[in-house]
Amino acid sequence: MSLAASAIGSPPQDAGMRALFDRQRQAFNRQGAPSYEQRLAALDRLKKAIGAFRDDITKAVSEDFGNRSWHETMVAEVMTSLDTVKHARKHLKRWMKPQRRPVDRTKFALAKARVHHQPLGVVGIIAPWNYPIYLAISPLVAAIAAGNRVMLKPSELTPRSSALLARMMAETFDPAEVAVITGDAGVGDGFSRLPFDHLLFTGSTAIGRKVMLAAAANMTPVTLELGGKSPTVIADDYPLDKAVDSIMAGKLLNAGQTCIAPDYVFVPRRKRQLFVDLAAKSVAKMYPTLAANPDYTSIVADRHYERIQGLIADANQRGFQVVPLNPKSEALSNQRKIAPTLVLDPDDNAKIMQEEIFGPALPIKSYNDLNEVIDYVNSHDRPLALYMFSNDPQQIDRVLSRTTSGGVTVNDTLYHVAAEDLPFGGVGPSGTGAYHGWEGFRTFSHAKGTFYQSTWNAAAMLRPPYGAKIERLLKFMIGRA
C-alpha cells in the first residue's frame, strides 16, 4: 500500500489510512468550509496538473492496457477531465449561493428561509480501471467544488495510472486536502470501512454491494456508479446505416470496456442481416486492421480477456450464430485484443445475456414490435444507459416513458455522459445516486435548511398561556388550510 500525498510512511494498512483520514478530518474541523476563492484556486491547480501530465497520462494508461489508443485517452481521460473542471469553475459561485425558499406569510409574516449547501467533510472516492484518470478526477472535481477534503483509491488493475494519479495529486495538493491511496483489493476493503462523510464507488455491481455493506457500519451515505446491460433500440423508421455507425463507435470505444457501452441491440427482424453487413463495413472503416492498429485498444488484463472469450465461446457452443468482424482475419491473442464480434439472437440462457459484457462482443436481438422490446427491458434489471434510434417523437416517448434507465442518449450513444449539466447515475442494480455538474455539487454537500425569524414574531402568539385569543387564531388558520 502507498499513502501518496502524505508523509506517514508505511504503517499497517488500516492504521495508515485511518491516520490520514484523521488528519483530513482535523484539518476540516479546524479550518471549516473553504471560501469560493479557495475552491476556485484548488480547481485551478487541478486543471494545471491535468494539462502538465497529459503526455504521462496517455503513456501510463496505454502501458496498463497493453495498448490504449492515444486519441481515445486524450478525449476520454484528458479532455473530459478538463471539461469537468471548466464547468465547475464556471458555475461554482451560483452553486454556492444560498437558495431562497418561500415561507407561509400567514404563519411567519416577515421571516425568511434559505438552503445553505455546506461541505460534508471528508469524502472517499473509489475509482475503477476502465477510465482510470477521468473516473477519478470527475468526482474529485465535484467534491472539491463542494468544499470537501478527499481520499482517493484508484484501481490496482491499472497500477501505472494509479501511481501517476498519486504523483499528480502529491504535487498539486497538501495531503490534508487530497490524498491518493494505492494498493490491492484488501486495501480497497479497508478504505471502504473508513467513516467517510460520503463514499462514491464506481465499479461492478458485485463489488458495489460489498462497498455498500461496509459503509453501512458507519452510516456512511454512498453513491454507487455501477453498470449492467445497457440496451440499444433501433426503430424501423431510423436509417440503419447511421444507427450502425453510431452503435459500433460507441461499442468499440476502449474496446467496449465502458460502463455505458451498448450491451445488446434490438433490430427490426427483417433488417438483422443488413445490420450485420453494415456493422462489418463500419468496423472495416474505423479499424482496417486490428493487430498492429494503435487505435484499437487491448483488453486490460488476462482474466478479463479470458472472461470475454468465454462469453463468446459459450454462445457458440449453444448454437447461436457468432460473427467475428476482423477485416484482415488477423491473429490477436498475443496482444489481448478481441475482434469485434456479433452474436445473433442469443436467449437468456447464454452467459453473454446474463452479465455485463465489458468488451467488444455485441448481441443482436431481432424483434417484430416495440412492445416486445419494452417488455424485455422491463423484465430485467434497470440499466445504467439506454439508447433509442428513431426520428418519430411518439416512438421515442413510447420507449423512454415506459422504461427506466440511469440515462439516455437518443440517436447516438454515450454522449449523455459528456453533458455536464445532466445528472449521471444508475437506478437499482445499476447504481444509486448521481453526480456531474450541479448534481455532483449536491451529492457532496449537506443542504442545510435555515429559518430566519423576523423581529415581529407571530409565532409568539402560539405560546402558553392559551385562551380565547389563540382559539380564534387557530380557527382562522385551520379554516385556511
Instruction: List pLDDT tens digits, range 125-183.
Output: 999 999 999 999 999 999 999 999 999 999 999 999 999 999 999 999 999 999 999 99
Check residue 477 and give its pLDDT: 73
**How far is the C-alpha of 382 from the C-alpha of 376, rounded, in Å?**
11
| Domain extents in the chain | 2-226+436-446, 231-425
Q: Which of 259, 356, 420, 439 is catalytic?
A: 259
Closest CA relative to residue 264, chosen from 374, 353, 340, 367? 353
Check residue 2 and give its pLDDT: 43
Percent above pLDDT 70 for the chain:
96
When the pLDDT of each residue in the chain is averaged and rounded to a whole number, the result is: 93
The yes-or-no verdict on residue 463 having pLDDT over 90 is no
Q: Is 259 a catalytic residue?
A: yes
Residues 332/298, Cβ–Cβ less than 8 Å: no
Closest CA relative to residue 179, chosen from 190, 189, 168? 168
Confidence of residue 410 (pLDDT cuts 50, 70, 90): very high
CATH code of 231-425, in short, is 3.40.309.10
Residues 43/150, Cβ–Cβ less than 8 Å: no
pTM (whole model) above 0.85: yes
Confidence of residue 5 (pLDDT cuts 50, 70, 90): very low
| Helical segments of 32-114, H only | 36-52, 54-65, 70-73, 80-96, 105-108
The yes-or-no verdict on residue 240 having pLDDT over 80 is yes
Q: Report the first-to-last Cα separation within the chain, whole angstroms.
A: 61
Confidence of residue 480 (pLDDT cuts 50, 70, 90): low
Check residue 3 and give its pLDDT: 43
Confidence of residue 467 (pLDDT cuts 50, 70, 90): confident
The yes-or-no verdict on residue 88 having pLDDT over 80 is yes
Q: Is 171 a catalytic residue?
A: no
Check residue 4 and give its pLDDT: 45
The yes-or-no verdict on residue 12 having pLDDT over 60 is no
Q: Which of 225, 356, 420, 439 is catalytic?
A: 225
Check residue 448 and give its pLDDT: 96
Percent above pLDDT 90 for the chain:
87
Check residue 10 and give its pLDDT: 38
**Cβ contacts of residue 206 below 8 Å, gap of 6+?**
none
Higher pLDDT, 12 or 381: 381
> What is the DSSP annotation of 288-343?
S-SSS-TTSPPPSSHHHHHHHHHHHHHHHHTT-EEEE--TT----GGGT----EEE
Does domain 2-226+436-446 bear CATH number 3.40.50.11540?
no
The yes-or-no verdict on residue 49 having pLDDT over 60 is yes
The whole-number average pLDDT for the span 423-427 is: 96
DSSP state, residue 280 = H
The yes-or-no verdict on residue 442 having pLDDT over 50 is yes
The yes-or-no verdict on residue 106 having pLDDT over 80 is no
Distance of CA 150 to the CA centre of its chain: 17
Check residue 459 and give its pLDDT: 65
Check residue 7 and give its pLDDT: 34
